[in-house]
Amino acid sequence: MADFTYFTPTKVYFGNGMAENAGSIAKEFGATRVLVHYGGQSAIKNGLIKKVTDSLDREGIYHVELGGVVPNPHISKVREGIELGKKEKIDFLLPVGGGSVIDSAKAIAYGLAEPDEDVWDLYEHTRRAKGCFPIGAIPTIAAAGSEMSDSSVITNEAEGKKRGYNDDLCKPRFAIMDPTLTLTLPDYQTQAGCADIMMHTMERYFTNGDKMEITDALAEGLLRTMMKQAKILHKDPQNLKAREEVMWTGSLAHNGLTGCGNTANDFATHRLEHELGGMFDVTHGAGLTALWPFWARYVMKDCLPRFVKFAVNVMGVEPGATDEETAEKGICAMEDFYHEIGMPTNYKELGIDPTPEQCKEMADRCEVAVGGSMGSAKTLVREDMEKIYLMPRG
């Protein structure tokens, strides 16, 4: 095994109806002036934002609201939130929504902690954060795992750049996890979230170097559970038991647990998708499933034992005559699963058609974003990135 540090400061409040306790929980963590951050009008129309603000009112906590976060959250909204936070003397942020809303709140929190700096510098990796205002989180989509993670991803819409930044400073102080909040999600968003949850673990699973048996067992069990629950929800969206399983699995998949003891993580598929999302504004989970089979086949021979183990232990395939045949059967089985839950496995199914010039541009941007190379299953340089971008044509 490799040495590791595991830091999980987020206190989790998990249960149906738990969102009604937002005020008392925020008060427990010292919040006195709260910015409630959210996405579209659905959170207003379904009464969730009022439920949260009423809860804050009962505890005498001052609050202001800022909505309008979009998928692939924009830096312009982050800057709007920073200015509002400074004006209102905010001391705590409470995002109510999916990973995009939580990520946007994290970026605002960085900006409020260092008001004289441009927060986008963090996402361009030209400096490290020195502080971050405290955050709670009320996720309404099980997907990104941002409610317990150290990561946030922001899009600079003017430049077409989608960039991530990781820092323990932004890990939420608490997460209120209420599975009932996910019951109204459209199936496509539910399944895209399930795909993202799985990918957070797969990015830690398909690696070279040292590992731990217990970490592998946790990762494989998480993946099998997520596949089972995703299929249930595809047929029965109101299955609350499955919603509960998926919500908790989403947090476990991205709080570092499934990477403990690994020499390195991969996250190449995520970084490739960041450029795809930045250019075409696709749903993140769907972009991942469209790219993953092609990344997998490109790196398979360099990480063959892991692909064989995945095929047998996760996908349940019968071993083939050779390890390569077994690994390929596992990739095919994953493609079949993606189709079963309505997720794309190439650009055509995703609804886009990147030109060779656009693939080149995405590779150029990805190389800059990752500092030249990326990956653990196989180290990818710019030439590899372009080849993968050119592959998913159906």
Q: What is the CATH number of the domain that holds 263?
A: 1.20.1090.10
70 plus 41 within the same structural domain: yes
Q: Examine the fold and report which residue of 129, 153, 181 is the final residue of a domain before the chain moves on.
A: 181
Quick check: is 1 in a domain?
no
138 plus 126 within the same structural domain: yes
Quick check: is 2 in a domain?
no
322 plus 297 within the same structural domain: yes
223 plus 332 within the same structural domain: yes
166 plus 194 within the same structural domain: no
CA within 13 Å, CB half, 367: 15
CATH number at residue 94: 3.40.50.1970
Q: Examine the fold and report which residue of 129, 159, 181 is the final residue of a domain before the chain moves on.
A: 181
Local confidence pLDDT in tens for the 394 residues of the chain:
899 999 999 999 999 999 999 999 999 999 999 999 999 888 899 999 999 999 999 999 999 999 999 999 999 999 999 999 999 999 999 999 999 999 999 999 999 999 999 999 999 999 999 999 999 999 999 999 999 999 999 999 999 899 999 999 999 999 999 999 999 999 999 999 999 999 999 999 999 999 999 999 999 999 999 999 999 999 999 999 999 999 999 999 999 999 999 999 999 999 999 999 999 999 999 999 999 999 999 999 999 999 999 999 999 999 999 999 999 999 999 999 999 999 999 999 999 999 999 999 999 999 999 999 999 999 999 999 999 999 987 5
Q: Is 166 helix (H, G, I), strand (E, B) or coil?
A: strand
Are 195 and 248 in contact, with CB atoms under 8 Å apart? no
Quick check: is 385 in a domain?
yes
Quick check: is 369 in a domain?
yes
203 plus 169 within the same structural domain: no
Quick check: is 318 in a domain?
yes
Are 346 and 392 in contact, with CB atoms under 8 Å apart? yes
320 plus 369 within the same structural domain: yes
Structure tokens at 310: 């995945």
230 plus 369 within the same structural domain: yes
Structure tokens at 202: 């797969």
265 plus 363 within the same structural domain: yes
Quickly tell me which residue has 């600079």 as its tokens. Answer: 156
Are 14 and 2 in contact, with CB atoms under 8 Å apart? no
Quick check: is 227 in a domain?
yes
- pTM listed for this prediction: 0.93
Q: Examine the fold and report which residue of 135, 153, 181 is the final residue of a domain before the chain moves on.
A: 181
Distance CA(312)–CA(310), nearest Å, equals: 6
196 plus 151 within the same structural domain: no
Enclosing domain of residue 287: 185-389
Domain count, the chain: 2
155 plus 249 within the same structural domain: no
Distance CA(88)–CA(82), nearest Å, equals: 10
132 plus 237 within the same structural domain: no
